[in-house]
């Protein structure tokens, strides 16, 4: 099963760039003339969810372990030997500082800073916010600054596809970032399922999924038919994904909300969770050694006539509808029909370093936690 897309090795046209020619005098009085360019992709937009879902990793051919969404490039025939870049903007835990020792004779240097977002601040952000990204570059004791105006998106704003000119970047793997098996809501769901079903931990995978479904319905979580789309191109496609705490509090979930929440519980149980994206919709499933099962989450909390929701009947109907939908769309889940069709294997996403949004925050509180693997893709070919 080979990946169909990788984590964003951005090759965009100049989506947002600020360039300037600098002549910096060293202590010895030697002038270093070079151009520097700042790029913020995609399209001058900052999506914290996209950054938080990727583990830090060194980038080949440059300095820093950033994800390439913010980069600074220097070009010139006489580059300074030492650089110190500092970046700040509201919402960061601390300003970014990146230092680089440049090889003698280098004509190009690429800096890839990693922004460290403050999760508490992000949770208060309920809309896209325009704000300055302030950069300072120090070389040979001389500092020059730039200000780049960017748009910072809320944590629930999940970009899943970018198209700029001839470039296409499939970001559907980022939905795996919202699948957080260590979220406190997952603990509550499992506690309720175990209270109601003494045989929960001894049951089959299908038995446990049914118990999870029943726990959600006992909570009163029901399908919300609202349109989650936030942007449908022409450059960026994104949609709202409610975080588990919001789903649990409001007792409502659209198709992607419920899919990522159920997938989080399945991952916590060690099951191979899957999310399927189709035009305007998502549904959830899992795969074991012998078979795959899929569930249509629009039936969560459904009422039949005037009768109250029947979890067992709803689950049976969701299983039948999910299987039928899978059979209709499976042929298009080949990686060539983005951004409308995709299969996201959560386990594969983890293997390639796609981490839950809250993982970095937890790691900062508990540094002994293992560092995630290098980032990559969760899109897979050939999963039945």
Q: Kindly list the strands in the beta sheet with 229-232, ordered across the sheet, starting from the edge strand earlier in the chain.
A: 167-170, 157-164, 236-240, 229-232
Reduced to 3 states, what is the DSSP secondary structure of residue 384? coil
Q: In whole angstroms, how far apart are CA 79 and each of 70, 93, 229, 250?
A: 21, 31, 45, 55
Over residues 321-347, mean pLDDT: 91
Does residue 377 lie within any of the structural domains? Answer: no
Residue 376 lies inside a defined structural domain of this protein: no
- Whether 176 and 122 share a structural domain: no
Identify the CATH number of the domain in which residue 57 sits.
2.60.40
Please check whether residues 141 and 286 belong to one and the same domain.
no
Q: What is the mean pLDDT of residues 300-310?
A: 74
**Would you say residue 309 has pLDDT above 80?**
no
Whether 43 shows a pLDDT value over 70: the answer reads: yes
Q: Quote the crossing angle between the two packed helices 205-219 and 184-196, to the nearest 10°.
A: 110
Given 122, 152, 182, which residue is the final one in a domain? 152
Residues 144 and 276 in one domain: no
Residue 373 within any structural domain of the chain: no
Residue 120 in 3-state DSSP? helix
**Per-residue pLDDT averaged across 307-311, rounded?**
75
Q: Both 253 and 138 in a single domain?
A: no
Q: How far apart are alpha carbons 18 and 27 in whole angstroms?
A: 27
Residues 339 and 286 in one domain: yes
**Does residue 10 or residue 147 have the better pLDDT?**
147
Residue 154 tokens read as 């809320």
Domain that holds residue 238: 169-365
- Say whether pLDDT at 370 is over 50: no
Q: How far is CA 361 from CA 69, 97, 115, 116, in A?
A: 20, 19, 13, 10
Same domain, 185 and 142: no
Tell whether 109 and 207 lie within a shared domain.
no
Residues 58 and 184 in one domain: no
**In terms of domains, do 146 and 228 share one?**
no
pLDDT at 167: 83
pTM of the model: 0.84
> Number of folded domains in the chain?
2
């Amino acid at each position: 099963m080979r990946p169909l897309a990788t984590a964003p090795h951005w090759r965009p046209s100049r989506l947002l760039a600020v360039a300037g020619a600098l002549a910096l005098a060293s202590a010895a009085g030697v002038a270093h003339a070079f151009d520097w360019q700042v790029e913020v992709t995609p399209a001058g937009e900052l999506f914290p969810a996209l950054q938080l879902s990727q583990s830090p990793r060194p980038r080949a051919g440059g300095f820093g372990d950033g994800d390439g969404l913010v980069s600074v490039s220097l070009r010139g025939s006489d580059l300074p030997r030492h650089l110190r870049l500092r970046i700040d903007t509201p919402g960061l835990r601390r300003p970014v500082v990146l230092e680089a020792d440049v090889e003698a004779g280098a004509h190009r240097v690429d800096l890839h800073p990693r922004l460290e977002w403050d999760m508490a601040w992000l949770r208060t952000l309920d809309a896209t916010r325009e704000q300055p990204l302030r950069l300072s570059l120090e070389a040979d004791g001389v500092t020059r600054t730039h200000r780049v105006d960017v748009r910072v998106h809320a944590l629930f704003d999940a970009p899943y596809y970018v198209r700029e000119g001839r470039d296409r970047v499939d970001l559907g793997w980022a939905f795996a970032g919202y699948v957080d098996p260590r979220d406190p809501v997952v603990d509550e769901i499992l506690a309720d399922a175990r209270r109601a079903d003494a045989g929960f931990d001894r049951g089959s995978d299908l038995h446990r999924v049914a118990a999870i479904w029943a726990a959600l319905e006992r909570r009163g979580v029901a399908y919300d038919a609202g349109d989650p789309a936030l942007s449908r191109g022409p450059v960026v496609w994104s949609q709202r994904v409610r975080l588990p705490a919001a789903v649990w509090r409001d007792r409502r979930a659209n198709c992607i909300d419920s899919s990522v929440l159920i997938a989080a519980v399945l991952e916590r149980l060690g099951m191979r969770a899957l999310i399927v994206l189709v035009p305007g919709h998502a549904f959830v499933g899992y795969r074991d050694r012998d078979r795959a099962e899929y569930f249509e989450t629009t039936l969560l909390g459904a009422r039949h006539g005037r009768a109250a929701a029947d979890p067992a009947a709803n689950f049976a109907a969701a299983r039948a509808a999910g299987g039928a939908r899978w059979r209709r769309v499976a042929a298009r889940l080949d990686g060539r029909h983005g951004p409308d069709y995709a299969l996201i294997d959560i386990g594969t996403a983890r293997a390639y370093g796609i981490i839950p949004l809250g993982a970095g925050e937890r790691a900062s509180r508990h540094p002994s936690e293992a560092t995630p693997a290098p980032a990559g893709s969760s899109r897979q070919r050939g999963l039945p």
